[in-house]
Amino acid sequence: MSKLDTYPYRPPKRYTKKSLHGRVRGMMIPYDDYRRAVLFYSQVFGWDMMRVPQGVFIEDSDERPHLMCATGPSQVSWEASVPGHVWAQLVARERVPKVQTFTEVSMDVPLAETVKTMTDRGWKVVSRTEIDGDWADFVVVEDPDGNRQLLWKCPSSRTWEEPEAGYDKD
């Protein structure tokens, strides 16, 4: 392999489809002790935290809340406002047993079809979560090496004005 074909010499390919398929959009980190985990990430790394809005994602409880964490400059929606970093979520371990990514998949393909392309290659489905009246659609999958990802299919509410929805247009 030529040196010019390696990182950092070859630039990344262009992403010209109006799609966020495959983007790693966040990180989900389990906690056992809620207060201890909040103190660790707020005091060591300066993260800011709020409870994830209810009814649009994983259910939680007042005692074991599901937290959205800004790890750097963020928009009012808590999506990052500059490139190169993502939010994290602190989640009770009984709901997320090990660290996993939050990965967006195609809005144009039913989530079941996307998941089938993975299970056909030996990946496994860890969990499917359905919440009454929920607005989101997601499945947790694991690759053959044990790496877990929550696959999230964005609802059709995206307006494409959102800064994070950019793609290579030319």
Question: Binding residue for another protein (CB under 8 A) from 18, 59, 64, 77?
Answer: 77
Question: Binding residue for another protein (CB under 8 A) from 61, 76, 94, 170?
Answer: 76
Q: Which residue's CB is nearer to another protein, number 14 or number 128? A: 14
The set of residues, in sequence order, having a beta carbon less than 8 Å from that of 131 and lying 6+ positions away, is: 55, 57, 58, 59
Question: Binding residue for another protein (CB under 8 A) from 18, 64, 82, 128?
Answer: 82
Distance from C-alpha of 147 to C-alpha of 130, rounded to nearest angstrom? 22
Q: How far is the CB of 78 from another protein (least distance, A)?
A: 6
If one counts every other C-beta atom within 10 angstroms of the C-beta of residue 149, the result is 20
Do residues 66 and 92 lie in contact, with contact meaning Cβ atoms separated by under 8 Å?
A: yes
Please report whether residue 56 would count as binding another protein according to CB under 8 A: yes
Q: Which residue's CB is nearer to another protein, number 127 or number 164? A: 164
Applying CB under 8 A, the site for another protein has a residue count of 98
Tracing tokens 């959009």 back to the chain, one arrives at 25
Please report whether residue 67 would count as binding another protein according to CB under 8 A: yes
Please report whether residue 150 would count as binding another protein according to CB under 8 A: no
The set of residues, in sequence order, having a beta carbon less than 8 Å from that of 133 and lying 6+ positions away, is: 55
Q: Which two tokens stand for residue 117?
A: 């392309």
Q: Which two tokens stand for residue 119?
A: 């299970």
Question: Binding residue for another protein (CB under 8 A) from 99, 109, 112, 128?
Answer: 99
Q: How far is CA 52 from CA 58, 83, 95, 168, 170, in A?
A: 9, 22, 14, 30, 36
The set of residues, in sequence order, having a beta carbon less than 8 Å from that of 58 and lying 6+ positions away, is: 52, 66, 91, 95, 96, 129, 131
Question: Binding residue for another protein (CB under 8 A) from 18, 113, 117, 124?
Answer: 117
Please report whether residue 61 would count as binding another protein according to CB under 8 A: no
Please report whether residue 15 would count as binding another protein according to CB under 8 A: yes
Please report whether residue 162 would count as binding another protein according to CB under 8 A: yes
Question: Binding residue for another protein (CB under 8 A) from 63, 83, 130, 170?
Answer: 83
Please report whether residue 124 would count as binding another protein according to CB under 8 A: no
